[in-house]
Structure formats: structure tokens, C-alpha cells
Amino acid sequence: MKILFIGANGKVARHFADIVQNHPTITEKAMIRNPEQQAFFDERNIETVLLDLSKNSIDDLAAVAKGMDAVIFSAGAGGKGLDKIFTVDLDGAIKSMVATEKAGVKRFVMVSTFRTGREEMDKQNDLRYYTIAKNYADEWLKNRTNLDWTIIHPGILTDVEGSGKITVGMGQDIKEIPRQDVARTIIAVLENNDTIGKEFEVLEGETEIEEAIQSL
């Protein structure tokens, strides 16, 4: 399976690269924005492509998605301002979906925020605009594309070593999840077509990742 990872230099994405560099069936093409990020992927023999979600066109994105079996979207503004939230987390996500369809690729995995919806969007906190952007990107994916989508909603991301065990579902109380286990969850989703058309929260837990994903 050949996948295009959009937002490949993120912390979750780097864990993904570490795992798939020797994976028997998954091959990654890493989409990065800065040439300085390339060395990490070169060391792992992972192909890279330089594109900027906020500047490059849908046609540019479609060209690099052509021939892929799946696209993963895990890009984010990373607290770099309101303009980046809307050009990356919202418009960048939608451009990526449109480009994926234009390239003839069906499978699309979205790494979203933990909770979306009107109640979350109305909260007056520092995450409000980020949540709004993520909410409408998710809704576009579900309701305005014909993609075979899965949406993953991780909890509070940590850098501790993953346990390989998680809890999945919707409406859970938020708690932590190691970034490494989110990366493993993405791989389990790619390997299980029964996750198509599903969205779920993922938190640390007591169930092996593959078993948890099979239960969806």
C-alpha cells in the first residue's frame, strides 16, 4: 500500500515514519514544507515531496497524490496564528480532499482534534478557532466527498513511549494518548477496511490496538 502523508513532519507523523520504514506492506511518501525536514526521511529511505498547503494548488496536490492507495492528513497550524489555522487546518484539509478525489484515490484518513461539534465550537477558549476549523473540515470529508474516509480523534497527546494499548469510541472523557500509539492506530486503520466510514476517539487504554480497531 502506497500512502501520501500530508503533514509528515509532525510528531505523530514522525512516529509513523519510524514504524513504516520497515513495514512489509506500507510505503510512505512524506509531504513536507521545509527542505530542512528532509534529512529525517532520507535516513529512513522514505520518499519526500516539498509542498506548502497554504500556497500550492489543488492540482499540485493531486499530482503528488496520483498513484497512491491512501492519503493521510495530519497537518496542523501548530499555534502559528489564526491565518494558519484557516489556511492549513481548514482550507488545507479541504484542498487535500479535493486533490485526493482528483487524483483518483479513494482512501482518506483524517487525524482530527479530540472533540468537535457545536458545543465545543461555542466554548470561549484558546482552542475555539482551531476546533471550528477541524469541525468543518471533518464535516466536509463526511458530507461533501465520495472518499472512503476514517476520522481519528486523539486525546491529549504525550511524548511518552506508547503501550500499544488504547480505548476507542465516541463521547469519552478526555485523557492522554501517546503520539506513538496514535501512529500505530493510523497503521491499524489502514490495514482494516472495516474502519471506512467510521470516526472515533482514541485514548490510552487496556485493549491491544488491532483488537480495539477491529471492535469499531
List active site positions: 130
The whole-angstrom separation of Cα 78 and Cα 209 is 27
Residue whose C-alpha cell reads 465516541 in the numeric block: 170
What are the φ and ψ backbone dihedral angles of 129, each rounded to 5 degrees? -70, -35
CA angle 198, 110, 12 (to 5 degrees): 120
Helix segments in 103-200, DSSP class H: 118-121, 128-143, 179-190
Strands (E) across the chain are located at 2-6, 27-32, 47-50, 70-73, 107-111, 148-154, 156-158, 165-169, 176-178, 198-204, 207-208
Residue 61, all three cell numbers: 496536490
The whole-angstrom separation of Cα 91 and Cα 60 is 15
The whole-angstrom separation of Cα 119 and Cα 80 is 24
